[in-house]
Amino acid sequence: MARFVLVHGAFTGAWIWGPLAERLRSAGHAVEVFDLPGLGDDTTPPQDVTLDSCAARLGEVLTAVAEPAIIVGNSMGGVIATQAAARYRDRVAALVYATAFVPRDGQSLLDLTRLPEGADDQVQANIIVEPPVATMPAAASRSALYGSCSENDAAWAISRQRPQPLGPFAAPVSIPKGALEGINRYFVLCRNDRAIPAALQRRMIAENSITNVIELDTDHTPHLSMTAALGDALQEFAAHAARSAPA
């Protein structure tokens, strides 16, 4: 069985992974979730939240257990997962981007949203920026983030959203040459995502030479809207990673 470490995206917290974590654990996997600085139940002041502090928090989780982990990032979590993997590669069994941003060296999350393929991004279209945080209005969240979710799941998630510290958005990742070499990377492409449009997902997949891709007809939050299908995809990726691991 695999060890999964799940990295949530902007505005949310570890809580967003609850249904998926339960499903993976019931299949026998070890699953760890945690709050990024300034989100969920974490009380870090937003002005102190940076990409480095987020990557360091993930690093603490990775290094607390000897077994290398399959890191699953959603949305902004893909940037944090990428930065942490470059720094803690010996603790990384694989990287999975569940409709997440995939930065190359020197790219930031904002750089990726500004690509032509991201023009229809409904988060950037509706976000309210009041430094040091950004807020996603509830009405816009329903369409942009939870469009395929049930009314109950969407209402539950929206009620728990928090303002997002801005620091991790603009900071470019630093990936030394060869730092990610040998780490299998996988992608769950969500065709109905209105936060990271499918065209932008496909561009990031191509530019990062990710060949193992599973597509789902759902929104930006497949861990709520298609929990079973996402769980199956992660288990398929885990099996592939195990088969391709060095003897």
Per-residue model confidence (pLDDT) at position 247? 63
How many of the other CB atoms lie within 10 Å of CB of 29?
18
**pLDDT tens profile 4-19:** 999 999 999 999 999 9
Per-residue model confidence (pLDDT) at position 245? 80
**C-alpha distance across the termini of the chain, in Å:** 17
Q: Pick from 100, 77, 111: which is nearest to 9 by CA?
A: 77
pTM, two decimal places? 0.98
For the chain, how are helix, strand and coil distributed in percent, rounded to 5? 45, 20, 40
Amino acid at 222: P
Going by pLDDT thresholds of 50, 70 and 90, the confidence category of residue 105 is: very high
**pLDDT tens profile 156-211:** 999 999 999 999 999 999 999 999 999 999 999 999 999 999 999 999 999 999 99
Give me the mean pLDDT over the 70-75 stretch: 98
